[in-house]
Amino acid sequence: AVCREGRGRPRSCREMSYGAVAAPAAGGRINGFSRPFTDKQILFWLSNTGSVVYFLVLAMNFYGADSEEPLVHAGLFHGLVGTHMAIATLGFCCWLFIECHNPIHPTCFGAMLPDSKRWTDKKWCREHKTKLEGLDHFCVWLNVSISRSNYVPFLVLTVCGVLQYILQALTGLLILTLWQKDMVGRMAQDWDPHALTFAVAMVVNECVSVGIGFGFVMLLIFHIHLLSTGFSTYTYLIEQRRIMRPATAARGPRPAAQASDRQALVNGSGDVELPETAGDPNAV
């Protein structure tokens, strides 16, 4: 029998979930590369890959262009681009691990986390159709659950994203300001003596870097807050929903089913379903 949506369905069908991704009918997801892929997952692949490639093409064209004068502060340029490439490589390795790893399997990264209630409780995940230790949330951008086994790589990936896009934006800004004369001398063409085309391309890089980087910054701030309070993403959302509800006297007594669902979720002992949260800052 197929479980139907709604509070009236059997309790065995009320499974914890996060995001709007439906699990395959036969068996749950294994990792991030399990089909079906999501639009947000593909957008994450294309936007991050495209942004890095776009930036490196601009930077290498700028540095490798013919010029009679050596680049001023060339060491600074080498340091910025080299550090960017190292951070992007580390972030790629973390992303690849998260996408390839089955979160049900323990890892050395999970051993780095304390044996507190947050990281030892097992909660049911609808997408993977199993209970995961230290379940934090289902990431719709990576299409896999983030739990104890892969939370550290997820956090490192987030930090790498912040630093990577800061370096991209900073390098582009310096090319437009500190190295502006070098840019004109190296990138000018007969039909574009002031290198305006390259300048516009670099401004596009600035906009993309700030746009994507802002998302990583907000995500990092959110998870730093979670780590400082001891909440997981799931329990944080439930607590925020509780705070935002009207006073108990105004709304009347809480239905018994709703109260029992919330208690089971917090205790990690029930197969309950979380509400969808379209505006959640951690849906990544």
Give the model confidence (pLDDT) of 210-262 as tens digits.
999 999 999 999 999 999 988 888 888 888 888 887 655 455 555 555 544 44
Give the total number of structural domains in the chain.
Answer: 1
Q: What is the pLDDT of residue 255?
A: 55
Any domain includes 190? yes
Alpha-carbon gap, residue 222 to 139, rounded angstroms: 14
Element (H, E) at 137: strand 137-139
End-to-end CA distance of the chain: 32
- State the average pLDDT over residues 24-45: 82
Half-sphere exposure of 66 (CA within 13 A, CB side): 2
Q: Count CB-CB contacts under 10 A for residue 68.
A: 6
pLDDT digits (tens, 9 = 90+) for 82-113: 999 999 999 999 999 999 999 999 999 999 99
- The answer, yes or no, to whether residue 19 has pLDDT greater than 50, is no
Higher pLDDT, 26 or 48: 48
Sequence-ordered strand ranges (E) for 80-129: 122-125
Any domain includes 5? no
Higher pLDDT, 264 or 101: 101
Alpha-carbon gap, residue 4 to 273, rounded angstroms: 12
Mean pLDDT of the chain: 80
Higher pLDDT, 211 or 283: 211
Any domain includes 276? no
The domain in which residue 155 lies consists of: 11-267
- State the average pLDDT over residues 142-152: 93
Any domain includes 277? no
**Predicted TM-score (pTM) of this structure:** 0.75
Look at the alpha carbons of 255, 256, 259, 262 in this order and tell me if their dihedral is positive or negative: negative
Could you tell me how far CA 46 lies from the centroid of its own chain?
14
Which residue do the tokens 């060491």 mark?
75
Q: What is the pLDDT of residue 273?
A: 44
Helix, strand or coil, per DSSP, at residue 280: coil
In the chain, the largest separation of any two C-alpha atoms, in whole Å, equals: 80
Higher pLDDT, 41 or 274: 41
Q: What is the pLDDT of residue 72?
A: 82
Any domain includes 182? yes
Alpha-carbon gap, residue 196 to 237, rounded angstroms: 48
Alpha-carbon gap, residue 102 to 167, rounded angstroms: 32
Any domain includes 274? no
- The answer, yes or no, to whether residue 51 has pLDDT greater than 60, is yes
The angle that helices 39-64 and 180-187 make with each other, rounded to 10 degrees, is: 80
Strands 122-125 and 130-133, by their bridges, are antiparallel
pLDDT digits (tens, 9 = 90+) for 165-176: 999 999 999 999
Phi, psi of 173, deg, nearest 5: -65, -40
Q: What b/e string do you get for 83-93 counting C-beta neighbours within 10 Å, with b at 16 or more?
A: ebeebbebbbe
Cβ proximity of 29 and 143 under 8 Å: yes
Q: How confident is the model at residue 20 (pLDDT cuts 50, 70, 90)?
A: very low
Any domain includes 2? no
Take residue 154 and report the two structure tokens written for it. 């997820």
Q: Residue 137 — left, alpha, or beta (φ > 0 → left; ψ -120 to 50 → alpha)?
A: beta
Any domain includes 44? yes
Alpha-carbon gap, residue 273 to 251, rounded angstroms: 22
